[in-house]
Amino acid sequence: MRKILQKIALLGIIASLSMFTLGGCQKQTTETKETKTETKAEESEDKTEKEGTKEVENTEDTNGEAEEKTEEAADEEKTETEEKTEEKTEEKKVELEKTEHPTFTSDGIRKLVLNRDGEEIFSLSKEPADYKMEFDYWEILNPYDETATVNTETMYKLFDVLSGFDFSTTAEVPDGTDTGVEGSTTTMQIDYTESTDTSAEADKTVTLLLGNEDDLGNRYVAVAGYENEVYTIPSSTLEAIYNLNPFDYILKIPALVNIDTVESIDIKTKESSYTMKIKDGKYYMGDKEVEKETFTTLYQALLNVMLDSNLDTPKADNEKEEVLRMVFHRSTKEAPEITLTYYTYDGNYDSVAVNGTERYLVKNADVNALVQQIAEAFK
């Protein structure tokens, strides 16, 4: 399975977004409550006409009670929803076994968190979801978020290094040596499974405490909870891990939005506004029904502006201009709405914000070409 993931080409990923279609999802409404309230009000009015002023007062009291009950029902519904959400979260939590002598494989790692001097600098984990494609399960939640798409080939190369750690033989520590592992705040958390099932969730966890360096260019390492046993790992290996560039671990696209989960896309350029929509298995650009191939060709292009680099310092609002905005409305509540906004940056680059957060630079020539392609497609 891992080899399959590693061989997925970027263009293939973009193309895979357009393999299937979905109709619009059902939206929750309050029509039933409104109908009941209106019916009740009409009955109260009839009763008032027949029974006089006294009954009017009673009706007002009844309506007041009805409103209170409606509010109470809404509060109860909200509480039930929150409780279900909490229950679902609790169900997802699995009590992980802390291991004294961990052994893990590249394919078995499910989470990696790096802390340097008490500060979390990198967090990568497998987060399956029904609205995602399988190769999109991985997320870098620090320094990015769930919108960043992980480059699994680069990720597995890192996991190969981690799986090479050996905790079967303790190190020979000279008497009086301060290993530095006790109370260390430079740590590495690895959640993993020893199962060969690639869909298996993590059931084991280990936190490594990184200590001082020995005379041979290694660093002392201990497993949290078992600090009496100390191991060594080459300093150069650990330095490479802790100095990794998170940008190297993402695919160079602003966001990966599976077309299976899209209901519509609102597009806004400097000159015009457009809408793309999928409804009942049919494809629309504006009010015009189009062939699937016409729709998906443009859809792929919307997500195909390649990231060039991280953006260190965003421009002030009065120093930039919005060039293009795209809002991907989803057909399922579980999938988050995605907004991509491109702003002018300098002579060569535009910045791109994903859900309001500017993190990357892209070539403005690519953005301008996309704006032109959009305009041509809607002619």
306-342 pLDDT per residue, tens: 999 999 999 999 999 999 999 999 999 899 999 999 9
Which H/E stretch holds residue 142? Answer: strand 138-142
User: DSSP labels for 289-342?
Assistant: EE-HHHHHHHHHHHT---EEEE-SSPPPGGG--EEEEEEEEESSTTSPPEEEEE
pLDDT at 92 over 70: no
Please report the pLDDT score of residue 93 as a whole number.
55
Helix axes 235-242, 152-162, angle to 10 degrees: 150
Which among 163, 148, 147, 165 has a CA at the least distance from the CA of 110? 163
Q: How do beta strands 226-234 and 218-223 pair?
A: antiparallel
Strand partners, 165: none
Average pLDDT over residues 351-365: 96
Using only C-alpha atoms, what is the Rg of the chain?
28
- Does position 100 have pLDDT exceeding 50, yes or no? yes
Q: What was the pLDDT predicted at 8?
A: 41
Range 184-211 average pLDDT: 95
pLDDT at position 133: 76
Please write the tens of the pLDDT for every residue from 24-75.
Answer: 333 333 333 343 334 444 444 444 444 444 443 444 444 444 444 444 544 5
Which has more confidence, 321 or 196? 321
Tell me the residue ranges of DSSP E strands in 214-302: 218-223, 226-234, 262-269, 273-279, 282-285, 288-290
Q: What is the DSSP letter of 348?
A: S
d(CA 267, CA 218): 54
The pLDDT value given to residue 95: 86
